[in-house]
Amino acid sequence: MINASNAVSDHKSPSILAECSVRDGEWLEITPHNDLLQAEGNARHKAVMQWLEEVSVPVKLIGRLHSKGEVKIDGAHIRLRLFPPMDYGFDPRPHDRVKVLYEDDYVLVMHKPAGMNVHPSEASDPTITLAHAVADHYQQTDQKCAVRHVHRLDEDTTGPVLYAKNEFALSKLDEQMRSKTIDRKYIAIVQGKVSDGLTVIDQPIGKDRHHKQRRRVSPTGQEAITHVEKIYGSARASLVRLTLETGRTHQIRVHMSDAGHTLIGDVLYGGSQEFYRQALHGEQLTFEHPFTEQTMTVNDQLPEDMIELVDQLGIPRP
């Protein structure tokens, strides 16, 4: 299954593993391009385990699969049970404003609309979240995958959210999050004219002890770095592109507010009320594909409500 209308990949050759394997139902069937399977008994078993590690199958996953009898050596093939059926973890519930931006056997990138959380705040919450909508998508397409997001967006921020469709993909993508190699670009409309000199905001962020929901710049907070590119600026408002180097809660909102350019509509951080939500959209998501190891870039067009806002403010459309 591949849905790639909003995604592009680099021209790098696929990984060794991707070049010599094919999915067969719940299993990945691998045909190594060497004499790996010529050995016998324990020597062959040891060589296979070492080779799987060399081609970047996560070590812990290899161990778990092996302990469950889900690594099989069959003639000229190695078989790994990478696609077992899994419970969704959330009740499937449809929503007409979500959209698949990219999908294959390992990852799903879904557009999140405004006014929707990525997952429920508690089990009893009746509100439809993106997790419910993803579960519905899996059900409608006859896929038995657990709903596992790799990163999040605020409730009123629109844009792409990345999901791992199996344990192999989750392990590889979680490592990318830890190493900060998943690149996220955002478009925001902020108050006032942003200076050309504002290109990087490197200010730690912590909780605001005076307000449960807010965060603030704090010397004792966690490291937070946001890169700023001004696309257009006027005395009334600016259109900026923002790239996260870290991923703290409300990072863009806190940093731009602290810089004197609160997002339009971001009432929580003192923004004007001329827009019904914070004017923030995830424009682009770039990551290394967990299986092919090619760089994937997924784009998400500016939503209609923000297009209307830039028109209203006299800002050229990006």
Of the candidates 30, 51, 80, which is a domain's last residue? 80
What pLDDT digit, counting tens, does each position of 42-99 carry? Answer: 888 888 899 999 999 999 999 999 999 999 988 889 999 999 999 999 999 999 999 9
What are residue 162's DSSP bridge partners?
Answer: 109
Of the candidates 156, 179, 202, which is a domain's last residue? 179
Q: Is the pTM of this model over 0.85?
A: yes
Segment 109-133 shows an average pLDDT of: 92
What pLDDT digit, counting tens, does each position of 212-263 carry? Answer: 889 999 999 999 999 999 999 999 999 999 999 988 999 999 999 999 999 9
Does the pLDDT at position 39 exceed 80?
no
314 falls within a domain: no
CA distance 198 to 212: 29
Catalytic residue among 154, 156, 266, 300: 154
Work out whether strand 295-299 and strand 7-9 pair parallel, antiparallel, or are unpaired.
Answer: antiparallel
Q: Which residues contact 174 (CB under 8 A, 6 or more apart)?
A: 150, 164
**Residue 202, domain CATH:** 3.30.2350.10
CA distance 179 to 84: 28
CA distance 141 to 94: 13
Note whether 124 and 174 are same-domain residues. Answer: yes
Note whether 70 and 38 are same-domain residues. Answer: yes
What pLDDT digit, counting tens, does each position of 306-315 carry? Answer: 999 999 999 9
What pLDDT digit, counting tens, does each position of 152-167 carry? Answer: 999 999 999 999 999 9
Note whether 228 and 167 are same-domain residues. Answer: no
318 falls within a domain: no
232 falls within a domain: yes
pLDDT of residue 3: 62
Identify the residue whose tokens are 């999915």: 23
Query: What strand order describes the sheet that includes 99-103?
Result: 99-103, 107-112, 159-164
306 falls within a domain: no
What's the total number of domains in the chain? 3
Q: How far apart are the first and last CA of the chain?
A: 32
DSSP state of 89: S
Note whether 175 and 216 are same-domain residues. Answer: no
Domain that holds residue 19: 9-80
136 falls within a domain: yes
Q: 309, 299, 211: which is closest to 257 by C-alpha?
A: 211
Distances (CA, A) of 191 to 231, 254, 262: 14, 14, 6
What are residue 240's DSSP bridge partners?
Answer: 188, 230
294 falls within a domain: no
Q: What is the mean pLDDT of the chain?
A: 93
Q: Which residues contact 205 (CB under 8 A, 6 or more apart)?
A: 215, 216, 217, 218, 221, 222, 224, 248, 249, 250, 251, 254, 255
- The reply to whether 154 belongs to the active site is yes
Of the candidates 162, 179, 196, which is a domain's last residue? 179
